[in-house]
Amino acid sequence: MRFIFKLLFILFFIGIIGFIAIAIYVTLNQPIIEEISYRSVLIDAKDKLTGEIMITNFTITGNNTILKEATTRDDSYVKVDIPSNYNILKITPNHKDYYWDDFTISGNKHSILLDKIGNISINHTGELKGGYGNIILDLSTDNINKEISACLRWSNNVVEVTNEYYPKVRELRTKLDCEYEGYIWNDAEVNCNFWCRRGLSEPNTTIGYCDVDFLDVLPPERLKNDIDRCYYIKRNIEKGLPFKITFNYKAYMLIEDSDFIKVYIIDSDLRNGKMVFEDINKQDVGTEDLVYEIR
């Protein structure tokens, strides 16, 4: 009987030791949950030209991580709470009537200064006639238009329209043009499966293409079937600072009243940290394309 009591006591003691050991192991290996502390940042938005306080949506990111999405107020700052371990933050407003932009903030208060999308006006000197000539476009705006470029279309009796200063857009539809611009060309691939090798089906062919994000390549998708040539200008137009572009043309002598040169003025806006002519849905950004016709 004594032996049995001793055995039970030993087993009980071993059980207690085992329970304690397991408890210690679980405690030591439990993940450490760090308590996240927050700090407050005051944000408002203003029209850069007028200083008027305005309402806009905005996104705050840190290390490419979205921390907060909110909307400013038209009467005071809006307070947003963000993790305090982010010292440098990027704030990106988005408003349909203003250009998007990225701002870096490091303090606890920030005013977003936004550029309202301007309305472009165009006048020209010169006339379209047979032979050689030039057209000078005079562009102005009532506020600002960012990184404008130009595309052209002309009628059958116009042989060519050129600009000697700005680079002509290459279509990037061939390996030669693609590699000339510094991009990588992906060659066409032909895959022939079991049935294809026996002549029972057609091979699967992948067309060669230029590895480039076409959002910042001219012409934009919306105009690619209406354009004869484009030029990268990538220059801002600002109020009180008109800008001139000269186009040289060559036309047949039998020029008619119906002949024309059509100019498309296209601006750019910021999307995902890059100035582009259209967004990922192939929609126009910035102001609407301005179409100006010369006859």
Question: What CATH number has the domain spanning 120-171+214-294?
Answer: 2.60.40.10
Q: Give the pLDDT confidence of 54-72 residue by residue, as tens digits.
A: 999 999 998 888 898 999 9
| Interatomic CA distance for residues 160 and 23, integer angstroms | 85
The predicted pLDDT at position 19 comes to 63
State the pLDDT confidence band at 87, using cuts at 50, 70 and 90: confident
How far is Cα 271 from Cα 101, in angstroms, rounded to an integer?
8
pLDDT for 212 beyond 70: no
Of residues 272 and 244, the one with the higher pLDDT is 244
Whether 38-114 shares its CATH topology with 120-171+214-294 is answered yes
**Domain assignments of the chain as residue spans, ordered by start:** 38-114, 120-171+214-294, 173-211
Strand partners, 241: 238
The residues that bridge with 41 in the sheet, in sequence order, are: 80
Class of domain 38-114: mainly beta
Residue 214: pLDDT band with limits 50, 70, 90 = low
Residue 101 structure tokens:
């932009």
Note whether 236 and 122 are within 8 A (CB): no
| β-strands 109-114, 38-47 pairing | parallel
> Read out DSSP for the chain?
-HHHHHHHHHHHHHHHHHHHHHHHHHHHHSPP-PPPPEEEEEEEEEETTT--EE--EEEEEETTEEEEEEE--SSS-EEEEEETT--SEEEEEE-TTB----EEE-SSEEEEEEPBBPPEEEEEES---SEEEEEEEEEEESSEEEEEEEEEEE-TTEEEEE-SSSPBPP---SHHHHHHTTPEEE--EEE--HHHHTTSS--EEEPPEEES-GGGSSSPGGGTTS-SEEEEEEEEEETTB-EEEEEEEEE-TT--TT--EEEEEE--EEETTEEESB-TTS-B-SSPPEEEEE-
> Which tokens in the block code for residue 125?
């000197």
Does residue 1 surpass a pLDDT of 60?
no
Digit-coded pLDDT (tens) for 155-188: 999 999 999 998 877 666 677 777 776 777 888 7
